[in-house]
């Protein structure tokens, strides 16, 4: 009888996976076998600190069932949602860093006993070709979200309304695949027991690609010049990498790995931490990398990730959020159109619109709306003061994060102004408004609060580069 590894390889090659694919899957088999012997609990203790690499179920508490709309005789009229793609593979850049880290361990000598040896023997299960693609867990994220929303909003997401559901997506494959998985989940929820059709045959068709909306940051020259391609824009991040909190972790990890401190840097430490999160999110196993870090380390590494998101996508620079005003205005254009059609007793042309994008789509928009803004900016020097900060990216935009605008029509409202009301849901939980503590607002009052953004924020003006060379404005 063939040895186990040889039999596995032959089967995988027979399935047409080829040598690279077979090698990766065999590595995964070996990793899972090792994971069974790993001590339990550490990964779950760290999971609250994985930032944008967080699993949805670790930071969100979705509740199935009816929505929590306005009191009285109100019915949902329209739903406009922004959804981050589901769980994905590491990007090619992240895989390169994982490979460099693994190579560092192998160069240190033959694997011995203890944690350093376990890490050296732990197989690298990710390759360049995976490059941020959606994984099976990500498809389940989308299908489950679709099922919960269908149960929560049956008037809008019932069989009768399927033909008028619109799907809009970023051009990135992980977003398109998320939209397709969501569509399949929605169809399956409404047609239990029936075989699923191909995406093109579903009543509402394949997603529409619109990068100007879903990847607005790629189309904003000012953002690209002053933030994305400006090395000095993230100087707070670089300063924190070289600060005492990170240097303490680098020294600790160097001792665990039995390598010189000079061979490590903050980027390698961060990808080691993310290795724990990738294996947990993608394969639901605990990597020995999780045993390298404790909760105190995790909090520091979360802050490093949050610093980057804050200065590159959040409140750090005004252009980060102002670049999203076209998306914000597009959302309110749909809401306005629904109100006008209802006032004319016409059917709502687009009662349900789902947009599939990125963490980089949602964070600027939420910042534009005034959410998660701390009294003091996040800097390299106030880590301890920001321990209770609002801006925690993993709790805002984990994988499959969603921001949903629900427009209600209230038949017997106390006043005409209260006939149309809005509720916001962030990760399926009611989100209090910036201008009021409530979770339901009169639509016109919400528009009045955002009057400046709706009337005065124009992407073609906001994103134009100034004629003179000035540095970005820190807030």
Q: Would you please indicate which residues are annotated as catalytic (active-site) residues?
A: 85
Question: On the CB side of 110, how many CA atoms lie within 13 Å of its CA?
Answer: 1
Contact residues for 173 (Cβ-Cβ < 8 A; gap 6+): 133, 134
Cα–Cα distance, 209 to 356 (Å, whole number): 10
Which of 336, 396, 334 minimizes the C-alpha distance to 363?
396
Q: How far apart are CA 437 and CA 428, in angstroms?
A: 18
Strands 208-209 and 165-169: parallel
Report residue 125: phi and psi, to 5°: -95, 5
Contacts of 378 (CB under 8 A, 6+ apart): 236, 303, 306, 307, 310, 311, 316, 386, 389, 391
Cα–Cα distance measured from residue 137 to residue 143, given in angstroms and rounded to the nearest whole number: 10
Which residue, 285, 265, 268, is CA-closest to 277? Answer: 285
Q: Decide: helix, strand or coil at residue 93.
A: helix
Quick check: 376 and 233 in contact, CB under 8 A?
no
Contact 331, 57 (CB under 8 A): no
What distance separates the 2 farthest-apart alpha carbons in the chain?
81
The whole-angstrom separation of Cα 250 and Cα 300 is: 12
Contact 319, 228 (CB under 8 A): no
- Other CB atoms closer than 10 Å to residue 419's CB: what's the count? 20
| Separation of alpha carbons 170 and 212, rounded Å | 9
Reported in sequence order, the residue ranges of 58-173 that DSSP labels E, i.e. its strands, are: 74-84, 165-169
Residues 268/250, Cβ–Cβ less than 8 Å: no
Both tokens of residue 455?
A: 């009337």
DSSP result, 303-319: HHHHHHHHHHTSTTBHH
Residues 109 and 293: their CA atoms lie apart, in Å, by 23
Strand partners, 424: 405
Print burial letters for 330-339: b (CB count within 10 Å at least 16), e (below 16).
Answer: bbbebbbebb
Task: Answer whether 355's CB lies under 8 Å from 178's CB.
Answer: no
Q: How crowded is residue 232: how many other Cβ atoms within 10 Å of its Cβ?
A: 9
């Amino acid at each position: 009888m063939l040895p186990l590894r040889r039999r596995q390889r032959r089967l995988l090659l027979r399935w047409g996976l080829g040598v690279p694919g077979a090698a990766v899957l065999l590595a995964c088999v070996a990793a899972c076998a090792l994971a069974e012997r790993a001590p339990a609990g550490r990964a779950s203790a760290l999971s609250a600190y994985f930032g944008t690499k967080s699993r949805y179920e670790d930071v969100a508490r979705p509740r199935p069932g009816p929505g929590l709309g306005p009191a009285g005789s109100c019915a949902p009229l329209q739903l406009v949602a922004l959804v981050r793609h589901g769980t994905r593979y590491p990007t090619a850049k992240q895989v390169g860093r994982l490979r460099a880290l693994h190579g560092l361990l192998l160069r240190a000598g033959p694997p011995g006993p203890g944690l350093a040896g376990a890490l050296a023997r732990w197989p690298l299960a990710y390759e360049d070709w995976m490059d941020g693609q959606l994984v099976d867990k990500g498809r389940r994220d989308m299908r489950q979200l679709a099922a919960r929303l269908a149960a929560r909003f049956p008037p809008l997401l019932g069989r009768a309304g399927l033909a008028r559901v619109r799907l809009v997506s970023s051009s990135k494959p992980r977003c398109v695949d998320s939209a397709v998985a969501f569509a399949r989940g929605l169809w399956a929820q409404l047609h239990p027991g029936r075989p699923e059709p191909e995406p093109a045959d579903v009543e509402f068709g394949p997603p529409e690609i619109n990068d100007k909306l879903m990847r607005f940051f790629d189309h904003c020259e000012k953002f690209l010049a002053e933030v994305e391609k400006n090395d000095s824009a993230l100087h707070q991040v670089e300063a924190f990498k070289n600060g005492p909190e990170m240097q303490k972790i680098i020294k600790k990890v160097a001792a665990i790995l039995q390598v010189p401190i000079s061979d490590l840097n903050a980027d390698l430490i961060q990808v080691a931490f993310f290795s724990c999160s990738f294996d947990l999110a993608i394969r639901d196993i605990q990597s020995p990398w999780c045993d390298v870090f404790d909760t105190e380390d995790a909090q520091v590494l979360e802050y490093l990730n949050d610093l980057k998101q804050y200065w590159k996508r959040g409140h750090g620079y005004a252009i980060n959020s102002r670049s999203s005003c076209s998306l914000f205005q597009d959302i309110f254009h749909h809401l306005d159109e629904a109100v006008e059609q209802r006032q004319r007793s016409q059917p709502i042309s687009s009662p349900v619109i789902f947009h599939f994008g990125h963490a980089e789509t949602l964070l600027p928009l939420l910042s534009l709306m005034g959410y998660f803004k701390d009294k003091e900016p996040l800097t390299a020097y106030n880590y301890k003061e920001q321990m209770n900060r609002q801006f925690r990216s993993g709790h805002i935009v984990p994988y499959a994060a969603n921001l949903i605008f629900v427009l209600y029509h209230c038949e017997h409202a106390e006043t005409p102004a209260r006939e149309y009301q809005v509720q916001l849901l962030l990760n399926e939980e009611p989100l209090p408004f910036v201008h009021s503590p409530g979770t339901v607002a009169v639509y016109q009052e919400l528009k009045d609060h955002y009057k400046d953004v709706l009337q005065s924020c124009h992407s073609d003006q906001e994103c134009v580069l100034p004629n003179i060379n000035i540095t970005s404005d820190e807030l």
